[in-house]
Structure 1
């Protein structure tokens, strides 16, 4: 394996074929501009060339330190992300906005989807470390805003800033792994940043409980990461800096042309390569169409109001057509390149990434609420159950990665994972509430099977989509994979939020009325707005609590039925994947064969 390293300074140089290109231009009397160093899709970008040059300086010990540093960073953002989900539940409840869980998550998913291609381009042009610097800033700033928020708007705004940083760090880790590993070892290496879940699954509940049951509360539980995360990323930054110093001493950068940040032509070219206008239309389309579905329900239906209908109409009639027309007719470098989408492997993998998260969030978005209320579990138990999927998927994934190193095939495991998702949803439909041990065991069994499927499906699919392209497009397809993943998250949260907000209030009111409880309308509103405070006053066995529990079981059934229907589509796309043999190189020699043949034919 070889190890990648970043470009830190923009005035440092780029290697490879561009040196010859520059010489050819000078022979013709043409002065090369910065745009000459931003090659088309068939050439390697400056950052990629730099990664390959610096990789030559790494010894085995350097690689060990690199992957350990990646593990530390992944441990930090993994634990933070897990705790954040729990703290967000209590923060929104404190603001009286529990039903807006999906809305907040949808907005974050939209931001994550849109910044993925930008980060891929930045890392390809200016180096991997550039992402790290940008992300640490946004990550910490978002945390500070959230921890000091006193309303839903400020909390959501901080979440968006944090998501910009979180997404970039996550992509950076995966791209570095793809840069530094062969296809045969890629799956094993990909699970290194997932390994922290083996620890976090069991300690996250204790950390969350310690924060929420003390005077510290959710504010400090979120805010402490503004200090911890920058410190934990220092080893990764240092090893990149040291790798660059070694490469410079060995003369790997000699004779390379300069990239000047002050150049207008550089940023003009970068603007078109990133497809900034396409990103704007994509974000507008997703936001205008998806968010209203999470807001339209509640204790009072808002479907007929202007602030729900107007964005829906603009999104469907204006934003979506503009995005399609721009990408097909005017974008110089489309977000989803037509050439790559002609590859069956890439198209099926992107569809699976979107469908996987869509189906998962149908059952997972309000799982914590269901555990605390419908199953009467405490904070530690509920948090741990929400982590069962991650824990089991990592265990299965690591085991599979060892097997795949010798089998060198992935498709059969991916198809098996898609089948198991359907089985898991069937179990979750059956076990969706109850105080008995058997009911709780049924839910855990469903989550365990879902976790087994998670170990067989997402990361192996990511490896196959990376195997479908050359090294110079690894960051791009990885970003598109995560973009589709986050679009799936947005869709899943939208579906879950739409079902929840439009059915839960009615179910609570009906179940209270069935039991002849006085003042049912007021109680239904209180239970819907802040269920955690409500269940303190009405413990298990009271008529009010039983009415609320029945409501949660009924709505969770709707969510799981929706999820199993989406999982069937996931299975169909898994059957369309190619069973690529994983070789000992960073990328497959026959990568992009279909699209190349198509271009030659045309």
Structure 2
């Protein structure tokens, strides 16, 4: 019934959505830096990152389950709505708290759109073509990497960061129209063909309490809430406290951490193992070495990246002396390289049909990248910048081999009916890694940078070192405008950045070595022309189990 051109229309719609949010992603982090600096809170960049990571980790499995229950279109509508609201709140925020609230809604939307694109690709491709197709939403980085810098520079030279964030409240929703049209047309054609006759839409029972009770169990709402509490209570205190002994002695730091470890985490595990009828985390599936290894790799990918990436924009402007355009482009250069490598890799995988050693190679390139980044972490000589770029390129090569190959391996390990859920869990693992990486980077930065600044300013003979260090730490972008390269104060701050970046990149190197070791545990299945291998649980086993669960539910 559905012809080849229908799939082309679908993929064009996914590409347009990806291009719009890709351009937003290429500029949003730049604008976020200036927004937080405008509130005199530059050190809190990592805290916002942690909060966004927690939201993404908790919402990805939720979106996956909701897309199975209410349909792909419903989740897309929800995401687009929150995208507009979240960007509008950030663009009009008067404090870092209001900006963070908008960032939470923005992250909900960003997560929903990405996971729907990934699920649609998994729904319509075979394992053999999955890696290549999964790179489709990333291909806009080939353009946005270079365009994003010019856009960011123009906006900051003109209307400012508020306008830069706010405009995407219109651009991204408008770009989703072709994808909406494609999905709606497909649903109409399926109804006319009678394919949906035996499926009762939940919207017809929206006023029924039974429907909402069923939704509670099917989507594991309590599990999602508990997961959010676990991540929030454990990760946020680490970021806010850093390594400050004084802050760690406060009850406001200790109590949330204790509640997270002693109460929330055990409650989440118990609920998922004993209470949930359709668990958010299916422990039977996670018992597989293949699935568990893929999840750990996903966590480590982003933990590793964010240890060096969280403060990379500040480092480029302060420690390398680059302008907004260059810094914005360099922040995305690893993504640019990863797309080129990933697409070529996708074509190769269609032929060789094996993935494990590509994943191992990707982890190896990331290790090499961090070796370079530990060495080249600042300086105004061209050799310093070239060394840094080489490290980012190596990161891009590693990312080209690693993430989507690992995603394909975990999708191959379960029956197709679990594809949405396992994809949600896998992407949630990325977000957990993001939160962990932000937490580690924030703890190192907040605890060590002010001390290094003050000490180096004193060593360079700069008077009033405490006040200068405070100003440079709170809003480095304003500070460097009046302290050009070559002045004693600038040299002292540059040295501080290099010292702290060494801590960050050294930590990332340790995580990347661990990731390399984990990749060796992966199996190396032959990728077939089916949607999944169902290694851990076949579709027949799943149907039988689902029937048994429904029988228990009715009883």
Choose the corresponding residue for 2:462, options 496, 514, 517: 517
**Distance change (3 Å), C-alpha of 1:297 and 1:183:** closer
Are 1:328 and 2:303 matched, yes or no? no
For 1:479, what is the secondary structure of its paired residue? helix
Counterpart Cα distance in 1 of 2:70 and 2:257: 38
Q: 1:263, CA displacement in angstroms?
A: 2.3
Instruction: Determine helix, strand or coil for the equivalent of 1:448.
Output: helix
Counterpart in the other structure of 2:164: 221
How many Å apart are 1:282 and its aligned residue? 1.4
- The question of whether the paired residues in 2 share the 8 Å contact of 1:505 and 1:525 is answered with yes
Q: 1:316 to 1:251 in 2, by over 3 A?
A: closer
Indicate which of 561, 581, 584 corresponds to 2:529: 584
Aligned-partner Cα distance in 2 for 1:576–1:220 = 48
Structure 2 counterpart of 1:133, from 61, 66, 77: 77
Q: Cα deviation per residue 1:204-244 (whole Å; 9 max; x = unaligned)?
A: 00000000011x10000000011111111011101111112
How far apart in 2 are the matches of 1:298 and 1:219?
33
In the alignment, the residues of structure 1 paired with residue 76 and residue 87 of structure 2 have an alpha-carbon distance, to the nearest angstrom, of: 16
Matches of 1:556 and 1:595, distance apart in 2: 52
Work out which of the residue numbers 253, 256, 264 in structure 2 matches 1:319. 264
In structure 2, distance between residues paired with 1:394 and 1:96: 36
What's the counterpart of residue 500 of structure 1? Answer: 445
Alignment partner, residue 95 of structure 1:
39
Q: String of CA shifts for 1:445-492, please: whole Å, max 9, x gaps.
A: 000001000000001000111111111110000000011110000000
Is this contact kept in 2: 1:301–1:502, CA < 8 A? no
Match of 1:278 among 201, 223, 231: 223
Alpha-carbon RMSD across the aligned residues, in angstroms, is 1.9
| Correspondent of 1:393 among 338, 343, 346 | 338
Please name the residue that 2:102 is paired with: 158
Say yes or no: does 1:84 pair with 2:28: yes
What is the aligned counterpart of 1:243 among 170, 178, 186?
186
1:430 to 372, 375, 382: 375
- Aligned counterparts of 2:443 and 2:451: Cα–Cα separation in 1: 13
* Residue matched to 1:184: 128
CA deviation map 1:88-132 (0-9, x unaligned): 000000000000000001001100110111111111122111111
Range that drifts further, 258-267 or 197-206 = 258-267
- What are the ranges of 5 or more consecutive residues in structure 1 without an aligned counterpart? 1-56
Residues in 1 aligned to 2:429 and 2:501: alpha-carbon distance in whole angstroms: 25
Corresponding position of 1:375: 320
> Is 1:111 matched up with 2:55?
yes
Helix, strand or coil: the match of 2:137? coil
* Unaligned ranges ≥5, structure 2: 546-555
Contact 1:298 / 1:505 at 8 angstroms: preserved in 2? no
Aligned to 2:234: 289
Shift of 1:556: 0.3
Q: Deviations over 1:525-571 (max 9, x none)?
A: 11110111111111111110011000000000000110111111111
Aligned to 1:35: none
The structure with more radius of gyration: 1
- The answer on whether the counterparts of 1:116 and 1:480 sit within 8 Å (CA) in structure 2 is yes
The answer on whether the counterparts of 1:389 and 1:450 sit within 8 Å (CA) in structure 2 is yes
Q: What are the equivalent positions in structure 2 for 1:557-568 lying under 5 Å apart?
A: 557-568=502-513
Distance 1:123 1:256 in 2: 15
Partner in structure 2 of residue 15 of structure 1 = none
SS in 2 for 1:587: coil
* Equivalent of residue 310 in structure 2, options 365, 368, 378: 365
Residue 586 of structure 1: how far off its partner (Å) = 1.5
1:424-503 to 2 correspondence within 5 Å? Answer: 424-503=369-448
Look up the match of 2:93: 149
TM-score between both structures, scaled by the size of structure 2: 0.95
**What residue number does 1:542 align with?**
487
C-alpha distance 508-589 of structure 1, shift in aligned 2 (>3 A): closer
Structure 1 contact 87–222 (Cα < 8 Å) conserved: yes
| In 2: Cα distance, 1:256 partner to 1:320 partner | 37
Structure 2 CA distance for partners of 1:263 and 1:413, relative to 1, 3 Å = same
Please say if 1:574 is aligned against 2:519.
Answer: yes
Aligned-partner SS, 2:138: coil
- Any conservation in 2 of the 1:343–1:594 contact (CA below 8 Å)? no
Work out whether residues 414 and 534 of structure 2, in 8 Å CA contact, stay in contact via their aligned partners in 1.
no
Moved more, 392-401 or 241-250: 241-250
